[in-house]
Structure 1
Amino acid sequence: MPKSSLITIYLPQFPNPNSHAFSEIPACHHSGLVSLSALFRRYGFPPTEFPDFLKKNGFLLNSSPSEIEKSFKILLSLKSSQDFLVSVVSGCPRVLQLDFLQKWKVGVKQLGVYNITSAAIRNVLDISMKFALSPNDVYGRVKCLKGLGFEEKTIKGFRSCVYGSYVEGG
């Protein structure tokens, strides 16, 4: 006679849909979450990281997907790379504030710096966001250093110290 074996099946415990766990997010935000998730996925953000990213950056729930997409497009105009976009937004999500980014539409070339690295752009945006600097503020500091007779090499070194990254080329 064959031996019978006991098979145990574990079913996950899901909370009741009427419980507190499901009521934390208002119903009106559910469709917004779906739209935001689809938008972030379309621009290359890993879908598995989106819930945690959104939890840490709840201010995004108050932004419309169209505003965030405009911000994505401005960032991509600064450096046309999906990796750059994901890196900047992951490292400094507040740069997605459209009113801040619209000031940077002119691009980083206005600063008189060419062949700037993605890391340098990210750090310039991060610092500009933290200290409420406009592109004109940053440009003024670069222009001042040039006016004082500093060579491009020295200015790049200064930027490296201040912005925590380096600028390639010249």
Structure 2
Amino acid sequence: MPKSSLITIYLPQFPNPNSHAFSEIPACHHSGLVSLSALFRRYGFPPTEFPDFLKKNEFLLNSSPSEIEKSFKILLSLKSSQDFLVSIVSGCPRVLQLDFLQKWKVGVKQLGVYNITSAAIRNVLDISMKFALSPNDVYGRVKCLKGLGFSEETINKVFRSCAYGSYVEGG
């Protein structure tokens, strides 16, 4: 008896075009959904998670794929790692706002902390986004910590150990 193998193919689960849920999406967003899905897949995001991710982050429907791709490229310039990109966007999708990321385009090197880890970058961007901090604001804090005698290694540990996602806006 020959052994049979099962092959599973994962496709993004968009609403059925004839369903009520699909009719709530404006026609102009249909092609946008396909473009966004393709863009996210190209940058390493799991296609099976995209529908839920998009449902939780509907603001992405108002962003053009070209703006999101520019944001991806800026994030990759901060840390050239697909895992980093997927991790930061999954954990803090608002960092995809291009106007926010444009400020960080010069990179995290201006903070004066070299060999900064992915976790530290993710935390710095998350906190900066939540509290509307500019790179200059963060640099000021780093300068203060260095002035108090903290080494770059210790500052990196501080950034890395910030409880990612645990800060409450305004609190």
- Residue 76 to residue 166, structure 1, CA distance change in 2 (3 Å): farther
- Residue 7 to residue 132, structure 1, CA distance change in 2 (3 Å): closer
Report how far residue 115 of structure 1 moved. Answer: 1.1
Report how far residue 114 of structure 1 moved. Answer: 1.1
Q: Deviation per CA, 1:65-85: give whole Å up to 9, x if none.
A: 000000000000000000000
- Residue 157 to residue 165, structure 1, CA distance change in 2 (3 Å): farther
* Runs of 4 or more consecutive aligned structure 1 residues displaced over 3 Å after TM superposition: 1-19, 148-170
Q: 2: distance between equivalents of 1:90 and 1:22?
A: 24
Q: 2: distance between equivalents of 1:87 and 1:111?
A: 22
- Residue 38 to residue 105, structure 1, CA distance change in 2 (3 Å): same
Report how far residue 20 of structure 1 moved. Answer: 2.6
Q: 2: distance between equivalents of 1:112 and 1:8?
A: 47
Unaligned runs of 5+ in 1: none
Equivalent residues, number: 170
Q: 1: distance between equivalents of 2:10 and 2:105?
A: 54
Q: 1: distance between equivalents of 2:87 and 2:11?
A: 38
Q: 1: distance between equivalents of 2:169 and 2:8?
A: 61
- Residue 22 to residue 167, structure 1, CA distance change in 2 (3 Å): closer
Unaligned runs of 5+ in 2: none
Contact 1:79–1:118, Cα closer than 8 Å, also in 2 = yes
Report how far residue 12 of structure 1 moved. Answer: 18
Superposition RMSD on alpha carbons, in Å? 7.6
Contact 1:71–1:98, Cα closer than 8 Å, also in 2 = yes
- Residue 41 to residue 149, structure 1, CA distance change in 2 (3 Å): same
Contact 1:115–1:167, Cα closer than 8 Å, also in 2 = no
Q: 2: distance between equivalents of 1:139 and 1:107?
A: 12
Contact 1:74–1:105, Cα closer than 8 Å, also in 2 = yes
Q: Normalising to structure 2: TM-score of the pair?
A: 0.80
Q: 1: distance between equivalents of 2:124 and 2:9?
A: 54
Report how far residue 106 of structure 1 moved. Answer: 1.0
Matched residues, percent identical? 96
Matching of residue 18 in structure 1 with residue 10 in structure 2: no
